[in-house]
Amino acid sequence: MSGIDLIAAERQRQIDAEGWTVEHDDEHSRNELAWAAASYAIPPARGPLYEGEHPTYIYADTGLPITWPWDAEWWNPSPEDRVRELVKAGALVAAEIDRLQRLAGRGVREP
């Protein structure tokens, strides 16, 4: 499967298995889906992402990326499968694009 196919399949899985419908997506506040996508897309910490022994993009007390917009229970990383994490990121980006397009269709523009 291509990357596009994997992302499309994940987005459909999110809708069918998780119940994250377009109506649900529209309830999210500005950029939450994009921040969640960024959280999965961030590569494993290397080089300048480290400050001392602690990666600067992780909250030390929770282990969550600073970009993660929701409670810890919703964070489901796949640290041993980089492709899976990027697929999750891609599906969340697709959901955010669709949400923004629906808003634009109603004459609403978010920064």
pLDDT tens figures, 17-76: 999 988 898 888 889 999 999 999 987 654 445 555 555 676 666 778 888 999 999 999
> Quick one: pLDDT at residue 18?
92
Question: In sequence order, what are the residues at sequence separation of 6 or more whose Cβ sits closer than 8 angstroms to the Cβ of residue 36?
Answer: 67, 68, 69, 70, 92
Residue with tokens 């397009």: 101
Residue with tokens 């994940």: 10
How far lies 68's CA from each of 52, 57, 103, in Å? 22, 10, 23
Q: Is the pLDDT of residue 83 over 70?
A: yes
54 neighbors 60 (Cβ within 8 angstroms): yes
> Quick one: pLDDT at residue 48?
45
> Quick one: pLDDT at residue 98?
92
